[in-house]
Amino acid sequence: MLNYKRYGSFLNDSFFDVDEHTGIIRQISKLDREGVCVGATYYNSCAISLEIFLTTENHQKLTLRQFLKVTIELLDVNDHSPIFRVSSIPYRVAISELAPVGSGVSLPLAEDKDVGKYGIQQYQLENFSTDHEKLFELDAQKTLNNDAIVGLVLRVISTLDREKEDCYSLIIKVVDGGNPSLSAELLVEITILDFNDNSPKFE
């Protein structure tokens, strides 16, 4: 009769167990690929290795021993939602009413423990009025190979006038690549800073 005994690190022991009589490997605790293989991407392999010690007796009653190495590959799933880590909500920014068209202010990036295919894919403006649409747009800046968003800028696309409107509220939505996708939202409050651009008049 074969007997199976597991060897290996404490980390691996905490995830899997081996039936000493059948050799069946069972998962005994929750697995998080991003926690087990820190820094791994969707495209990189992530695996756990187990060493199993087999013993048996032959017809001469001699004990035979053998080591087996079993590699278990962990497949990625979209199990983490994006999150904005900001100290307060709404997130407040200030822009001068004389800010030239094309200028902008940096916004915080969201974080997602999932990476690659299931990581952050898109930022968009949500629930904004027609006036907002004429004044601002999001500029998601990507790496040279276009595989990750490394900066987020709210750009001015039209002339601002504090005397017409001194504050705007926008919602930034971030979406990951899952199907269905997971998302998060951030409320941004924009204060338009005044500038002495109107001369006094006698009425």
**203 inside domain:** no
Kindly state whether residues 60 and 124 are assigned to the same domain.
no
**79 inside domain:** no
Question: How many residues are present in the chain?
Answer: 203
**115 inside domain:** yes
Kindly state whether residues 162 and 100 are assigned to the same domain.
yes
Give the pTM.
Answer: 0.73
Kindly state whether residues 178 and 116 are assigned to the same domain.
yes
pLDDT at residue 192 in the model: 94
Kindly state whether residues 144 and 107 are assigned to the same domain.
yes
Cα-based angle 81, 33, 120 (whole degrees, multiple of 5): 35
**199 inside domain:** no
Instruction: Tell me the two tokens of residue 31.
Output: 């697995």
Output the DSSP codes for 102-157.
T-EEE-PPPB-SS-GGGSEEEEEEES--HHHHHHEEEEEEE-TTS-SEEEEEEEE-
pLDDT per residue of the chain (203 residues) written in tens, 0 to 9: 678 787 765 455 678 888 888 889 999 888 888 888 876 666 677 888 888 888 887 666 667 788 888 888 888 889 999 999 999 999 999 999 999 999 999 999 999 988 888 999 999 988 666 566 689 999 999 888 777 899 999 999 999 999 888 999 999 999 999 999 999 999 999 999 987 655 556 56
pLDDT at residue 116 in the model: 81
- Given 45, 73, 101, the domain boundary residue is 73
**11 inside domain:** yes
Kindly state whether residues 108 and 182 are assigned to the same domain.
yes
Kindly state whether residues 101 and 49 are assigned to the same domain.
no
Residues contacting 29, CB < 8 A, separation 6+: 14, 15
pLDDT at residue 159 in the model: 92
**184 inside domain:** yes
Q: Please give the tally of structural domains in the chain.
A: 2
- Given 24, 44, 73, the domain boundary residue is 73
Q: CATH number, domain at 184?
A: 2.60.40.60
Kindly state whether residues 150 and 96 are assigned to the same domain.
yes
pLDDT at residue 202 in the model: 56
Kindly state whether residues 187 and 129 are assigned to the same domain.
yes
CB 103 within 8 A of CB 155: yes
Residue span of the structural domain in which 172 resides: 91-193
**84 inside domain:** no
Kindly state whether residues 56 and 113 are assigned to the same domain.
no
pLDDT at residue 65 in the model: 81
Element (H, E) at 91: strand 91-96
